[in-house]
């Protein structure tokens, strides 16, 4: 099933006004108007974009910038335009096609979701929120996002950007809690407009991505700066646990990435000595790090061990 033309056009049309609603909030009109004038031209927001392609984008965009996702997304939707196409692909091909997007388990989750869609939903992405949530690897955020953006439904879509916008504009704090709380979910649900809730969801997300950013918010460009509780309180600094930037050099993430890169680039299984060359001792933080990371990749189903201490991507 693909999104209706009317729903898709509602997301893309610029210069329209928000429908009157009994659930109107002062934030709704300025944020939606800002979005309709400033939204990025992204292919998964185009009218008629299939729900399957939107689902792929949502999985790829988790913890990954748009600029890195765009070329890989285009390759995927051209190569595997339907769930049935991806369901028939081998895990090795899928992992290779995932490239260096990071967190490659997401590729295997997409594969499992595609197989479930074929087996249980006749190859069509379900529109029902509960059925989306029941798909392998689909969490509460992704189910709400696909139901909203692909099918124009009314759901609270809480990603990092949305949570930050709500934390500042409504709660009056610089950053939201580390994990989503019941209070945040309740607030997001209460803020949903009765009409065009799917447009509101993507508009708040875009505001957080482009204006209400984590490190350098552009308050002078914000359409609701005069209503922002955090700004009106004098932009008080964060008082919760210290927000640490993600390290990279020498971390398990880097070592796992190097091991995966070596296996992706090889047409033949690699021996343990060959993997040692790819990830030398000088790159490690401790002597057991390489083995620990390799074991973790095997447990995650991303690497298949073979006799003779050889390894390959899963067949």
The matching CATH number, chosen from 3.40.50.1860, 1.20.1260.10, 3.40.718.10, 1.10.10.10, for 252-312 is: 1.10.10.10
Nearest to 175, CA basis, from 210, 224, 214: 214
Residue 271: enclosing H or E segment and its boundaries? strand 270-271
Nearest to 31, CA basis, from 189, 204, 197, 168: 204
List the catalytic residues. Answer: 58
Tens of pLDDT along the chain (315 residues)?
444 333 343 343 333 333 344 568 999 999 999 999 999 999 999 999 999 999 999 999 998 999 999 999 999 999 999 999 999 999 999 999 999 898 999 999 999 999 999 999 999 999 999 999 999 999 999 999 999 999 999 999 999 999 999 999 999 999 999 999 999 999 999 999 999 999 999 999 999 999 999 999 999 999 999 999 999 999 999 887 776 666 778 899 999 999 999 999 999 999 999 999 989 988 899 989 999 999 999 999 999 999 999 999 999
CA distances from 278 to 153, 221, 306, 309 (A): 48, 47, 18, 16
> What is the reported pTM?
0.88
What class has domain 160-232?
mainly alpha
Architecture of domain 5-151: Orthogonal Bundle (1.10)
């Amino acid at each position: 099933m693909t999104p209706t033309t009317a729903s898709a056009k509602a997301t893309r049309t610029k210069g329209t006004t928000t429908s009157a609603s009994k659930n109107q909030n002062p934030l709704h009109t300025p944020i939606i108007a800002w979005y309709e004038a400033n939204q990025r031209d992204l292919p998964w927001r185009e009218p008629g974009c299939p729900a399957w392609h939107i689902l792929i984008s949502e999985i790829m965009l988790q913890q990954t910038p748009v600029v890195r996702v765009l070329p890989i997304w285009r390759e995927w939707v051209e190569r595997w335009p339907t769930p049935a196409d991806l369901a028939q692909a081998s895990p090795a091909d899928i992992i290779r096609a995932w490239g260096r997007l990071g967190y490659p388990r997401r590729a295997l989750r997409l594969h499992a979701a595609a197989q479930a869609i074929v087996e249980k939903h006749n190859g069509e992405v379900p529109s029902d929120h509960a059925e989306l949530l029941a798909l392998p690897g689909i969490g509460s955020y992704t189910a709400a996002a696909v139901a909203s953006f692909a099918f124009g439904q009314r759901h609270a879509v809480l990603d990092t950007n949305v949570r930050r916008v709500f934390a500042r504009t409504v709660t009056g704090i610089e950053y939201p809690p580390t994990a989503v709380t019941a209070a945040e979910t309740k607030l997001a649900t209460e803020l949903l407009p009765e009409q065009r809730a799917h447009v509101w969801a993507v508009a708040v997300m875009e505001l957080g991505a482009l204006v209400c950013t984590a490190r350098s918010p552009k308050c002078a460009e914000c359409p609701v700066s005069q209503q922002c509780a955090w700004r009106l309180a004098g932009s008080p600094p964060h008082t919760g646990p210290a927000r640490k930037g993600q390290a990279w050099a020498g971390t398990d993430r880097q070592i796992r990435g190097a091991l995966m890169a070596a296996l992706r680039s090889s047409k033949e299984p690699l021996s343990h000595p060959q993997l040692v060359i790819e990830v030398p001792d000088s790159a490690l933080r401790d002597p057991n790090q390489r083995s620990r990371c390799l074991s973790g990749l095997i447990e995650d189903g991303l690497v298949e061990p073979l006799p003779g201490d050889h390894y390959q991507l899963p067949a």
